[in-house]
Amino acid sequence: MDEEVFNMSLRKFLKRVGVTGQREIEQAVRKAIEEGRLKGDETIGAKVHLEIPQVGLDVVIDGAIELK
């Protein structure tokens, strides 16, 4: 394994996850506020499921997102 190639590829993947995830969350939260499902001052729970079947990785990461 080429550590440098692996590291760069992993960073690109995680950047894509971060950028895409942030955009999707922002859109979903704004829509929920517009529709009255959220007030906009809550802390909402968040969960990410990370899976790489080829290496046996299956992990859930829990967190919270503060809106105000």
pLDDT in tens, 40-55: 999 999 999 999 999 9
Instruction: Spell out the domain ranges in the chain.
Output: 3-66
**Which amino acid belongs to residue 50?**
L
Please state, in angstroms and as integers, the Cα–Cα distance from residue 63 to each residue in 3, 8, 46, 51, 55, following that order.
30, 26, 5, 17, 24
pLDDT computed for residue 28 by the predictor: 98
pLDDT digits (tens, 9 = 90+) for 1-13: 999 999 999 999 9
pLDDT computed for residue 37 by the predictor: 98
Name the pTM for this structure: 0.88
